[in-house]
Amino acid sequence: MTAAPALAAPPAASVRRAHQLARTRPNTRSLWNLAAIVVIWATSLVVVAVWVAGGEVQALFAGGGDTLNALGRAAGLASANLLFYQVLLMARVPLFERGFGRDGITRMHRIVGFWSFALFTAHIGLQILGYAVSAGINPLEQAWQFVWDYPGMLLATAGTGLLLLVVVTSVRTARRRLRYESWHLLHLYGYLGVGLAIPHMLWTGADFTAAPAATVYWWTMWAVTAAAVVVFRLGMPLTRSLRHGIRVSAVERDGDRGVSVRMTGRRLSALNARGGQFFVWRFLDGAGWTRGHPFSLAAAPDGRELVISARFVGDGTQRLAAMRPGTRVLIEGPYGTLTADERRGRELLMIGAGAGVAPLIALLEEARWAPGEATLLVRDHTAGDALRVDAIRRLERERGLRHAALPGPRAATASPWLPQSHAAWAGPDLVRYVAPRPDDTDVFLCGPRPWMDAVRADLRRAGISSDRIHLEAFTV
């Protein structure tokens, strides 16, 4: 059988529990999660109440065009409400960031987006059929009348086209063919699409304006959504960036295909950033600075500097290597729940692939653990691709980290997260070898989503419970 990963032994001279580098914070994630769920369900029930109050239940059982129209209005109301949450989920609202985490939000954003568009399409089709049946005319003729004769429908049609563009480019096959920068720019047209649909709701949507309570609800949701975008996506990041005056202090090569960027600023401890979290960064180094990029902290924040590491994978990361010291930086964040607060057991198993090792290093530097209690497995295509090597060696030397590098091509086995050099190993067996006490071990994962899915499957087969597996993905 292939040899087991070579794990560094902890220093024999150090047997005391390591000093806690960050103060322990109570885990309030469950409370935030409950609050976020309550808000979503409460607004959903309001939408149901608006539909019922409009006499739609009776229309539903009336048959013919009335039934089609009742179903169409239900689909339209649900779609409109989901459209608000489609925007709110990506507006960096603290309630949702803390309640669901970035991984949960990105999954919800994708699901809510497709459901919202599906219901929106159903709304259009059902309303056209319902009105056509009631008027006894051809559905195509009815669709033409909607577009040209009803107030706000031309704008709504244009908005529909923009939303369709966003949906099509968000399909995984199309998403992989686009550069991140191009996809991000196209994705912003979703905001315009939502805005163009609002006049139609106000001018011809009886369910939006027929009752005072319904009018108050929809106006409130529009105002809250717009305010959230202005405050949390524009106002707070700009204010925070100006207050802390963050600038690039050094740019260093990190491995054969990576770069580390060090930044300094004023009162950085006031950001309350944690190891394992990420910021959205905008470097004011020329054209294209408006496009933000999510990079995790690659070192535990110490109040003096912020450090990120990135692999060269696109235009946004390539330009990092060319930045000069003194470049101004705009930030959004910190975001994410992949922190030591998620920990439940005594031992830590960190498994990272590529640039995914960066937040794991920051988390290890901040977390409390004794020599031999933390293990780090790093997966890279080649040994030269490894990031944060110096930081890993320092953790081995000073704190007793057990570390194994797993470079090489992917294994063509049931455990494709392993390299070909360890193809003889079953993934669950290797997990049990490096983490023999699953009931007292927390596992933190960071890497490409398919790779993390494969690791998580083997972790579960090795006996590690789901609540001890912590991961976060940043792709939409």
- 56-98 tens-digit pLDDT: 888 888 888 889 988 988 898 888 888 888 888 888 898 998 8
pLDDT digits (tens, 9 = 90+) for 255-268: 888 999 999 999 99
pLDDT confidence band for 18 (50 / 70 / 90): very low
Q: Which domains does the chain have, with CATH numbers?
A: 29-237 (1.20.120), 242-335 (2.40.30.10), 340-471 (3.40.50.80)
Residue 416 tokens, joined: 């494709």
Question: Mean pLDDT across the stretch 283-302?
Answer: 88
Inform me whether the pLDDT recorded for 22 exceeds 50.
no
Indicate if the pLDDT at residue 280 is higher than 50. Answer: yes
Closest CA to 342 of 470, 472, 473, 474: 470
Percent of the chain residues topping a pLDDT of 90: 43
**277 CB contacts (<8 Å, ≥6 apart)?**
296, 297, 333, 334, 335, 336, 338, 339, 359
Question: For 282-287, what is the mean pLDDT?
Answer: 88
Any idea how long the chain is?
476
Q: 427-451: per-residue pLDDT in tens?
A: 999 999 999 999 999 999 999 989 9
Residue pair 295/259 in contact by the 8 Å Cβ criterion? no
Is the separation of the CB atoms in 385 and 391 below 8 Å?
no
- Min mean pLDDT across 190-199, 302-311, 332-341, 350-359 is at 190-199
Q: Quick one: tokens of 186? A: 């196209």
**Which secondary-structure segment (H or E) carries 353?**
strand 347-353
Tell me how far apart the 2 most distant CA atoms of the chain are, in Å: 89
- Residue 379: pLDDT band (50, 70, 90) is very high
Residue 297 has pLDDT above 80, yes or no: yes
Nearest by Cα to 129 from 75, 207, 55, 198 = 75
Radius of gyration of the chain (CA): 26
Q: Give the residue ranges of DSSP H helices in 171-205.
A: 172-177, 180-187, 189-204
Q: Assign 325 a pLDDT band (cuts: 50, 70, 90).
A: very high
